[in-house]
Amino acid sequence: MTTVDLPAPTLTAKDFSSDQEVRWCPGCGDYAVLKAVQSFLPDLGLRRENIVFVSGIGCSSRFPYYLDTYGMHSIHGRAPSIATGIATAREDLSVWVVTGDGDALSIGGNHLIHALRRNVNMTILLFNNRIYGLTKGQYSPTSEVGKVTKSTPVGSLDHPFNPVSLALGAEATFVARTIDSDRKHLTAVLAAAAAHRGTSLVEIYQNCPIFNDGAFEDLKGPRAAQRLVRLEPGLEVTVDGRTWQHDPTEISPTRQFALSRMDEAEAVPIGVFRQVERPTYDDLTRSQAADAVADRGRGRLQDLLDSGDTWTVPGPSATPDPTDFQEEPCPS
Amino acid sequence: MTTVDLPAPTLTAKDFSSDQEVRWCPGCGDYAVLKAVQSFLPDLGLRRENIVFVSGIGCSSRFPYYLDTYGMHSIHGRAPSIATGIATAREDLSVWVVTGDGDALSIGGNHLIHALRRNVNMTILLFNNRIYGLTKGQYSPTSEVGKVTKSTPVGSLDHPFNPVSLALGAEATFVARTIDSDRKHLTAVLAAAAAHRGTSLVEIYQNCPIFNDGAFEDLKGPRAAQRLVRLEPGLEVTVDGRTWQHDPTEISPTRQFALSRMDEAEAVPIGVFRQVERPTYDDLTRSQAADAVADRGRGRLQDLLDSGDTWTVPGPSATPDPTDFQEEPCPS
Amino acid sequence: MASTVTELDRVVIRFAGDSGDGMQLTGDRFTQEAAVFGNDLSTLPNFPAEIRAPQGTIPGVSSFQLHFANYDILTPGDRPDVLVAMNPAALKANLADLPRGATIIVDTHDFTRRNLDKVGYDANPLEDDSLAEFAVHALDLTGLSVEAVKEFGLSRKDAARSKNMFALGLVSWLYGRDVAGSEEHLAAKFAGRPTIRDANVAALRAGWNFGETTETFAVSYVVKPAPVAAGRYRNITGNTALSYGLVAAGELSGLPVLLGAYPITPASDILHELSKHKNFGIATFQAEDEIAAIGAAVGASFAGTLGVTATSGPGVALKSEAMGLAVMTELPLVVVDVQRGGPSTGLPTKTEQSDLLQALHGRNGESPMPVIAAQSPTDCFAAAIEAARIAITYRTPVMLLSDGYLANGSEPWAIPDVAGLPRIEPGFATEPNHDKGDGTTDFWPYLRDVETLARPWAVPGTPGLEHRIGGLEKAGTVETGHGNISYDPDNHDRMVRLRQEKVRRIADSLPPLEVDDPSGEAEVLVIGWGSTYGPIGAACRRVRAAGHRVAQVHLRHLNPFPNDLGEILRRYDRVVCPEMNLGQLSRLLRAEYLVDVRPITTVRGLPFGAEALSADLLAHVTETPEPTA
Amino acid sequence: MASTVTELDRVVIRFAGDSGDGMQLTGDRFTQEAAVFGNDLSTLPNFPAEIRAPQGTIPGVSSFQLHFANYDILTPGDRPDVLVAMNPAALKANLADLPRGATIIVDTHDFTRRNLDKVGYDANPLEDDSLAEFAVHALDLTGLSVEAVKEFGLSRKDAARSKNMFALGLVSWLYGRDVAGSEEHLAAKFAGRPTIRDANVAALRAGWNFGETTETFAVSYVVKPAPVAAGRYRNITGNTALSYGLVAAGELSGLPVLLGAYPITPASDILHELSKHKNFGIATFQAEDEIAAIGAAVGASFAGTLGVTATSGPGVALKSEAMGLAVMTELPLVVVDVQRGGPSTGLPTKTEQSDLLQALHGRNGESPMPVIAAQSPTDCFAAAIEAARIAITYRTPVMLLSDGYLANGSEPWAIPDVAGLPRIEPGFATEPNHDKGDGTTDFWPYLRDVETLARPWAVPGTPGLEHRIGGLEKAGTVETGHGNISYDPDNHDRMVRLRQEKVRRIADSLPPLEVDDPSGEAEVLVIGWGSTYGPIGAACRRVRAAGHRVAQVHLRHLNPFPNDLGEILRRYDRVVCPEMNLGQLSRLLRAEYLVDVRPITTVRGLPFGAEALSADLLAHVTETPEPTA
Ligand SMILES: Cc1ncc(C[n+]2csc(CCOP(=O)(O)OP(=O)(O)O)c2C)c(N)n1
Ligand SMILES: Cc1ncc(C[n+]2csc(CCOP(=O)(O)OP(=O)(O)O)c2C)c(N)n1
Ligand code: SF4
Ligand code: SF4
Ligand SMILES: [Mg+2]
Ligand SMILES: [Mg+2]
């Protein structure tokens, strides 16, 4: 979220569509998310030029090309670092990161958790299809154990991350989950994420019909009602035999974490798990700079160069010919 | 922990001391941990040659030089990956990682969380002095907000990680915390960690008298009794107004996570937070290999090369002079 | 029924269609038929960068080119004699590559207004005279296929998907190929889905029969088998051959192999292939990133396994620091770089040779690493074994360079007899190697072999050899091999030179270079490395066929260079070096030998065309020599 | 009271003691005194690699060498005329560097059996004749200091810690230096701790008085001021000068600066220094690793800030992939590499020039990046501004090479007048630049300046210029600057050459090289780059003083090379290139110009000694020329 208020233009989804042809596979969940984002962006009330989308590498990371905002399709896993630089440099931009489960949690895991603990102003959309799409179907850090893929012909061995638990363990201030197939829910979560000042992580369950079709089938259609828990503030939830009213603004993350472990049992919670206020890294950086100017005045270069122990050599004095001197007796 | 039983030799702490002079600053907490480890290693009942210590870079990462076992002082942040290779290659080794708060949580954060979720057989000793020692005192990802250091002359801005919370969010199977000054507790935690099959993370609060002296002073001496909660199975604990008996073997990490947030209030828990069984990555790798041999027999190279669609060219036939041919009419 | 059968020496055929049209399978099968028939061959698949680009668009076109001949050929061919185009996009994307007079077989089914618009065809090219200079066979392949499989009750969509098999059948007929092998293949592939199997076989047969019974084609062709040495053959891609080479290296050295890898195009298939061979003592570890991948390989090597990591250029960049650790700790390690178009993400699915300088210099400090390259898909097998030999013998990380063209291209491979492959001796240290002077001994991990300068490889678990290694400078010369950390200035200078010399000595283990100069009188030498071997060879043949003399030498070893290379370069008046980069080997040769090596460069993501390259070579060969003083 | 005052041209003095003895401070203060007095000077601090190695051991010795003179000098000196040694370890570690006849001032206090044993002295060297060839002053400096400060009631340990100030006072007296400045410094430094302040001042004065009143020293010395240009001066280290250069670049371009950095020796001080100047619009971001550090810098540059990242060799290795992204996206970026001993972790606190080839080639693909180097501590200021000029003008990442010697070494700096510094024009794009042909316009992010080939820098927040950039190949030539992803083979070839040409054109903006050849008749040219400037200059002076002719040229620009370099190299019969690596610049020059550049190399973690280097040069200068054909 940007804090700088600019006259809100009246834009539509179309204003946010670039001239590039969208190139995902037919049926890819990314289309639905793109549509939702394009439709939602006008609601931000921001000018297009004040929005930046940064992505890593992966199918989902093509996202910025399709939005008529500023954007960078960067390198694998590093989008949160790049976004950190953008957000720290500029307070007037709304900074978005688009990433995949491989991009964000495999190669980019460290940047993600550090962005979360720093609480840099950015909204991270993590497209979780539980597979590496772009490299044609290897298992990912969110794939279930035993997954048979090109790189694991007799099944994968490693226990997956739960992105929500990981984020909560990494001191995140905003964590939410939604699903590609539910446009309304997606949009609501996007709105909450964008409104949050700090790092917002939104995990989006996204179907990859080519390499991991149906990963979230259970959560769609008629069965969805039993399998999904739609988190709302005040919703009564029960985990491990304990019941309470969900409060995303609770400072202690312990109950939100407990919620994130629900899927181990029956139901999968979607919605906002956590949303707490904490000063953001970039705002603090700017306020340290402002304080420095307030305390010491805007820096003057000449003063800086002249600082420290200096001395003055008076009057011009000819520089002697250096060949007159030698530093030690000549060796030969 | 290694599963391969070898006749247990009778060794002493001295057998585990290498001929290298120990080179930490006077009063560094690392000395105490080294002594404790050297004294504890004989209890493992393993041969020296079956023990490997791998470290990254940092003051603490000098550790392997001082132990007369196999060892590698590797590069910054990468020790968990190297240890993963060692553990996956060899089931008969006891693999230890020694790392600092910068090494493990800053540059090496991703390898750490992936080792934890994979549950590779290794014991990670994380020396947390909440500062970068070797590079002479910059703040670290565990430094408190507002820390004045060489790189943050007006105070650091970022919210620190809680290594225990992070580990629990990263699907760890064994997480513990101890402190350099309490040899007995340290040894007991080491014993539990070493006994665990899988990735054990032990956070060790370690004093750096040079760059962050007294960071854990509160937890030592007379005040320790009020400030420390010594976790034991069955200990009655209260967090956020809820009371229960601590059970590190509980499969759901939610209450263990809650415990890890205790320090936000008054008391700092030390001891074993979590210790659950889960197949290890390296064991599973070995069992997939064993299954492959059982199913298909030990691979025969000739058979592999001969596999697929092959054909046979009968009888010897002279290879013609390639200059007799040309692929297309010559351009000139 | 065709009236005439014409004999040809060689044919280049390209199958092109939408990504979903199964062109790679069609190409693979036809390749296999040509191989079994005894032709020599070379292939060039070309994938779109997108997983599934929008249907019917140019970026979505997938193609497979096959060159087959009755003699030994060296390249997949420059320009297709035959194009099979399954839709307007496939036609448009490939047309510019066709020589005048080429044959085009086109599926008319998708030439709808909508599809034509998608690719910017104002008029239907099948209906105006824009294809006048080609021999066009416009057939409703889709319709014919649907008809052929209708008895199986498939959905229309599934029925239409058999059109690639119809096309395969038709082309097989055209070149007199037997489809029995492909039928078997389909039977095996769709064993679990009998309807699909039967439909595909039916479409395949229908295609063949269509050629045989209709009079669409006046002529069919035969390309006789190539005279090749007796033996057992199979068709193999570079990535598979490289993977097999790594399996072989494990067997030949008696070492288990651990591949640490993070998926990346075009190297991922090495991970995929090796993950199938767990019963060979091969472990594959899909790491969280490239750094962890090489980290695990280094750890495995320390533990007495052959550590391997496979990636492409961006991954090599990330592994730089860890390679330095392997250089410093002197552990065996094979780093495979399947090069692709750069810089940065670049052109991931295209080929290039632009990582050579990165391989040599992409590490901090003086960090010498042997570098070798494979020259053809089949050669990837031997190159992998050679990389392992150097790594194990000299205790050093080795960079093995392949590229996208080798990785996915295929050619027939005379399957080697395993018994004839050379063994590799790991020679683990088993006991203390240093006399302390007081009657006792201890182990010095850097006490070197005086000849190879290799240090001992003492594996955890070996009693009495406990030791510590690391990335800091150490006292590790031939005289002082205890390996303790040393900040002594003179020691560092000696160590830096020693690590360099150790790599240099690898050259002493190499056979003399083979210079191909049939006339024995060439004045111009063409030098290359890696996958340009085929195109350079083909271009040289052309130059020679045009009546000129030219010599060719091709390097497997890029660091160190073979001992006789300088002498060879100086033997010629002129040295020319074609590369798929901006002249990287040229620079290295110029710096090393002060010879005015002239680069010929292409950076188009595609191998050199033999035709264009031969024209370039000819210019150099026929240029008047500069007057020498 | 000394009987005689002798005048000297120059003195090299080295303070050595345990890490805890405060030798760096002593050296700094004496440097400042010499500077204020008007001497020219050059310093070489030498830190132990450990934070605090065990007390009294050789690895724990910290030293500071200062060369001061009455003329302009170029190096910190080869061999100390005076060694101040605070304990046995300091004596032993430094003795070998002393020339016969040197003065040794030694604190006898720590010459106990236990301390002698620690460093392997069987006998006390102060008591046998092992120091016979030196002028030894064995004094109980500690005892004298404790005595001098006893009135302040400090603990014995704290009292003893004032011995470095006692030593400073004594040496100040010896060279007739005023200690008033140092007194002020102590007063400021310990303002909050008056007892410590007073004790230190007392020890300082006691040391001075000790020299003045006792007859320990028969002679005292004077080194007159050096004739230097008028102006305001200060002493400055390379890291500080480089940091100031970055602040200046921000001011001169009007851009905010964001430094993304991860601490690493010897680059960390740049982060420390810049973090102090937040009131200049400088933001410092201590990242989680080197990759995130450059990532943030790239992001900041995209956002219209000058992105900078500073590290050492291992960090550069990690940044390789991201530098490729900056090359591909053509964003301004300054990457500072303060080189240290490699490979791998190597010798972190020592200097080396071994990252040159990494700087040029350590990225995947053809990934050209301008590379420049600073040649002295003060020159780091101008070098940083030049790096920023190139980065901003050409929209490219630039590698700025410094090294451990420049970073920590210091020399007097004629403080520049800010008004005289050249402005740098960011020239942000403000409006659409491309005519769509239908009467409307749009923005093409890769529509280049036809002269520099730089692309427009359009910063988020600018309406109408919304665009997307990335690491994939794009259509971005002068003609087709829309920058959309392109897999077209010919486009890629053009783009690869264009990125190379853009970097090459930087050479067109450079002034002619300055060749220093006082005789105008030299036949041998010595070429260097970076921190060897001083030692090469000093060695050339010696060669000339010995009656020989030699020319010197020193490169700031390593990529591209200046346009006139080839011509200059060819002008000489012989070209010699001293480097602190195994000959990296030599290789580049040989490859580029086919000139037989002869390397002189040292990799000892220390700068060249002028004496040894002049001997090497002399050998080349006096060698009989080979007969030319
Ligand atoms: C440094 C580097 N390593 C590897 C790759 C290859 N690569 C590209 S995307 C990707 C993973 C994609 O998975 P994910 O992030 O889940 O995105 P998806 O395609 O599923 O949307 C990989 C391994 C790369 N481009 N760069
Ligand atoms: C790639 C790389 N980056 C940076 C460094 C410099 N470095 C060495 S140790 C270290 C951090 C040390 O902190 P920590 O891990 O907490 O260990 P400690 O010294 O406190 O025990 C850093 C930044 C390095 N050696 N390598
Ligand atoms: S591979 Fe999967 S994730 Fe990628 S574009 Fe296709 S459907 Fe979407
Ligand atoms: S700097 Fe701190 S952590 Fe490092 S050795 Fe010294 S006391 Fe220990
Ligand atoms: Mg994915
Ligand atoms: Mg630390």
Residues D433 and D368 sit within 8 Å (Cβ to Cβ)? no
User: How many CB atoms are closer than 10 A to CB B144?
Assistant: 12
pLDDT score at B329 = 31
Say yes or no: D600 contacts chain C, CB-CB below 8 A. no
**Percentage of chain D with pLDDT > 70?**
98
Within 8 A by CB and 6+ apart from C336, the residues are C242, C267, C270, C308, C309, C310, C311, C384, C387, C400, C402
Residue A82 lies in a domain: yes
Q: Is the pLDDT of residue B192 over 90?
A: yes
Say yes or no: B72 contacts chain D, CB-CB below 8 A. no
What is the C-alpha to C-alpha distance for residues C245 and D480, in angstroms, rounded to an integer?
44
CB-count burial class (<10 Å; 0-12, 13-18, 19+) for D368: buried
Residue B103 is given by DSSP the state I
**Domain CATH for A30:** 3.40.50.970
Q: Which residue pairs from C423-427 have beta carbons closer than 8 angstroms and sit at least 24 positions apart in sequence?
A: C423/C252, C423/C253, C424/C249, C424/C252, C424/C253, C424/C385, C424/C388, C424/C389, C424/C392, C424/C393, C425/C253, C425/C392, C425/C393, C426/C253, C426/C254, C426/C255, C426/C304, C426/C392, C426/C457, C427/C457
Domain count, chain A: 1
Question: Looking at this predicted complex, what is its ipTM?
Answer: 0.94
What is the C-alpha to C-alpha distance for residues B26 and A12, in angstroms, rounded to an integer?
67
Min distance A243 CA to chain B CA atoms (Å): 12
Min distance D214 CA to chain A CA atoms (Å): 31
pTM of the model: 0.93
Q: Which helix (H) or strand (E) holds C494?
A: helix C489-505
Residue of D159, D89, D139, D143 lying closest to D117 (CA atoms): D89
3-state secondary structure of C551: strand
Within 8 A by CB and 6+ apart from D589, the residues are D527, D569, D575, D577, D595, D597
What is the C-alpha to C-alpha distance for residues C480 and C492, in angstroms, rounded to an integer?
12
Interface of D with B in 44-83 (CB under 8 A): 50-55, 57, 59
Residue A205 lies in a domain: yes
Q: Given 3-state DSSP classes, what are the helix, strand and coil percentages for chain D, each rounded to the nearest 5?
A: 40, 20, 40
Q: Which helix (H) or strand (E) holds C212?
A: helix C194-213
Contact D288 B135 (CB under 8 A): no
Cα B133 to middle of ligand 2, angstroms: 7
Residues C515 and C568 sit within 8 Å (Cβ to Cβ)? yes
What is the C-alpha to C-alpha distance for residues C256 and C428, in angstroms, rounded to an integer?
14
Minimum CA–CA partner of C319 in chain D = D318
Minimum CA–CA partner of D346 in chain B = B75
More confidently predicted of B228 and A222 = B228
Query: Between chain A and chain C, how many beta carbons pairs sit less than 8 Å apart?
Result: 67
Contact B22 D54 (CB under 8 A): yes
What is the C-alpha to C-alpha distance for residues C45 and C405, in angstroms, rounded to an integer?
8
What is the C-alpha to C-alpha distance for residues D184 and D201, in angstroms, rounded to an integer?
9
Q: Is the pLDDT of residue D537 over 60?
A: yes
Q: Does domain C235-420 have CATH number 3.10.580.10?
A: no
Mutation site for D-interface testing, chosen from C318, C364, C497, C593 by largest number of D Cβ within 10 Å: C364
Q: Is B180 in the pocket of ligand 2 (CB under 6 A)?
A: no
Q: Is the pLDDT of residue A332 over 70?
A: no
| Pair type for strands D434-435 and D441-442 | antiparallel
Assigned token pair, C440: 């006792």
- What residues have their beta carbon closer than 5 A to ion ligand 5? A 100-101, 129
Say yes or no: C248 contacts chain B, CB-CB below 8 A. yes
Give C614's contacts in chain B (Cβ within 8 Å).
Answer: 330-331
Domain regions of chain C by residue span? 4-223, 235-420, 427-498, 515-621
Cα B152 to middle of ligand 4, angstroms: 19
Q: How confident is the model at residue D38 (pLDDT cuts 50, 70, 90)?
A: confident
Give B160's contacts in chain A (Cβ within 8 Å).
Answer: 117, 171
Q: Is the pLDDT of residue D307 over 90?
A: yes
Within 8 A by CB and 6+ apart from D611, the residues are A328, A331, D78, D79, D542
Q: Is the pLDDT of residue C16 over 70?
A: yes
Q: Is the pLDDT of residue A183 over 90?
A: yes
Integer angstrom CA distances of residue D577 from C272, C533, D590, D614: 49, 36, 11, 12
Assigned token pair, C592: 């090393």
SS (H, E, C) D182-204: HHHHHHHHCCCCHHHHHHHHHHH
* Total number of residues shown for chain A: 332
What is the C-alpha to C-alpha distance for residues B40 and B13, in angstroms, rounded to an integer?
7
Mutation site for B-interface testing, chosen from A81, A106, A117, A143 by largest number of B Cβ within 10 Å: A117
Q: Is the pLDDT of residue C85 over 50?
A: yes
pLDDT score at B323 = 37
Say yes or no: D438 contacts chain A, CB-CB below 8 A. no
Rg value, chain D, Cα:
27
Residue of B244, B99, B123 lying closest to B190 (CA atoms): B123
Write the DSSP assignment of A222-244 as a string of letters.
Answer: GGHHHHEEE--TT-EEEETTEEE
Q: Is the pLDDT of residue C1 over 50?
A: no
Give D345's contacts in chain B (Cβ within 8 Å).
Answer: 57, 75
Minimum CA–CA partner of D19 in chain B = B25
Q: Which helix (H) or strand (E) holds D310?
A: strand D306-311
What is the C-alpha to C-alpha distance for residues A257 and A273, in angstroms, rounded to an integer?
8
Contact B107 D51 (CB under 8 A): no
Min distance A53 CA to chain C CA atoms (Å): 18
Q: Which of B59, B107, B152 comes nearest D51 by C-beta?
A: B59
Tell me the ligand closest to B30's alpha carbon.
4
Interface of D with C in 426-485 (CB under 8 A): 470-473
Q: Which of B57, B301, B327 comes nearest C418 by C-beta?
A: B301
Q: Is the pLDDT of residue C55 over 90?
A: no
CB-count burial class (<10 Å; 0-12, 13-18, 19+) for C143: middle
- Mean pLDDT in residue range A74-90: 98
Q: Is the pLDDT of residue D627 over 70?
A: no
Mutation site for D-interface testing, chosen from B24, B76, B113 by largest number of D Cβ within 10 Å: B76
Q: How confident is the model at residue C470 (pLDDT cuts 50, 70, 90)?
A: very high
Min distance C231 CA to chain B CA atoms (Å): 5
- For the domain made up of C515-621, the CATH class stated in words is alpha beta
CB-count burial class (<10 Å; 0-12, 13-18, 19+) for C598: middle
**Span B258-303, pLDDT tens digits:** 999 987 557 899 999 999 999 999 999 999 999 999 999 999 999 9
Q: Which helix (H) or strand (E) holds A249?
A: none
pLDDT score at C427 = 96
**Span C504-536, pLDDT tens digits:** 999 999 999 999 999 999 999 999 999 999 999
**Span C558-596, pLDDT tens digits:** 999 999 999 999 999 999 999 999 999 999 999 999 999
Give C272's contacts in chain A (Cβ within 8 Å).
Answer: 150-151, 153
**Span B142-172, pLDDT tens digits:** 999 999 999 999 999 999 999 999 999 999 9
What is the C-alpha to C-alpha distance for residues C152 and C159, in angstroms, rounded to an integer?
9
**Span B43-98, pLDDT tens digits:** 999 999 999 999 999 999 999 999 999 999 999 999 999 999 999 999 999 999 99
Tell me which residue range forms the domain holding A249: 13-284
Contact B324 C305 (CB under 8 A): no
pLDDT score at A3 = 54
Q: Which of C344, C362, C493 comes nearest D358 by C-beta?
A: C362
pLDDT score at B265 = 58
Assigned token pair, A270: 């979607």
Q: Which of C49, C366, C588 comes nearest D343 by C-beta?
A: C366
Q: Which atom of ligand 2 is nearest to the CA of D51?
A: 19
Q: Is the pLDDT of residue C503 over 60?
A: yes
- Subunits touching B (CB < 8 Å, at least 3 pairs)? A, C, D
Integer angstrom CA distances of residue C67 from B33, C76, C82, C575, D354: 67, 5, 10, 30, 47
Interface of D with A in 337-396 (CB under 8 A): none
pLDDT score at A4 = 57
Contact B157 A285 (CB under 8 A): yes
The reply to whether C4-223 and C235-420 are identical in fold is no
**Span D145-179, pLDDT tens digits:** 999 999 998 998 889 999 999 999 999 999 988 88
What is the C-alpha to C-alpha distance for residues A57 and D322, in angstroms, rounded to an integer?
13
3-state secondary structure of B240: coil
Tell me the average pLDDT of chain C: 94
Residue B18 lies in a domain: yes
Interface of C with D in 539-568 (CB under 8 A): none
- Mean pLDDT in residue range C460-487: 95
**Span A153-163, pLDDT tens digits:** 999 999 999 99
Say yes or no: A22 contacts chain C, CB-CB below 8 A. yes
Calculate ∠ Cα D322-D325-D330, nearest 5°: 130
Contact A23 C264 (CB under 8 A): no
Q: Which atom of ligand 1 is nearest to the CA of A101?
A: 16
Residues A80 and D296 sit within 8 Å (Cβ to Cβ)? no
Tell me the average pLDDT of chain D: 94
Residue B101 lies in a domain: yes
Residue that is written with structure tokens 């290795």 in the block: D317
- Just give the CATH number of C4-223: 3.40.920.10
Residue B303 lies in a domain: no
Residue that is written with structure tokens 């000299």 in the block: C394
Query: Between chain C and chain D, how many beta carbons pairs sit less than 8 Å apart?
Result: 227
